């Protein structure tokens, strides 16, 4: 019984993140014509990456991560929806470091 419950829970989580990714890709596409955000560290344009449905600006030379208004709150909300928010945040930060 618990396997079926876990499978359903996992499927809903995957569906949620797939929707978040689609929405983030739409936001990325909408931003394509606009000026890229400049890194406060190097002054160069930052790369935009889609992580769990959130478009995040990253300075690929220094590793600086910039969040636009509301994005950090989105990250924290996603973490709160998991069984282990701290582990999820560590994984999220590790993924950003590898981007």
In terms of pTM, does the model score above 0.85? no
Tens-digit pLDDT profile for residues 20-78: 777 777 776 666 666 778 999 999 999 888 888 888 899 989 989 988 888 889 999 98
Query: Can you give the pLDDT at residue 41?
Result: 92
Query: Can you give the pLDDT at residue 87?
Result: 92
**Which of the pair, 3 or 62, is modelled with greater confidence?**
62
CB contact at 8 A, 64 and 40 = yes
């Amino acid at each position: 019984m618990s396997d079926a419950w876990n499978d359903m829970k996992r499927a809903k989580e995957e569906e949620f993140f797939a929707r978040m990714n689609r929405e983030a890709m739409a936001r990325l596409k909408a931003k394509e014509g606009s000026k890229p955000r400049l890194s406060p560290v190097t002054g160069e344009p930052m790369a935009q990456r889609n992580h769990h449905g959130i478009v995040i600006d990253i300075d690929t030379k220094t590793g600086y991560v910039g969040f636009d208004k509301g994005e950090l709150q989105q990250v924290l909300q996603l973490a709160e929806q998991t069984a282990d928010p701290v582990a999820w945040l560590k994984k999220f930060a590790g993924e950003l470091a590898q981007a």
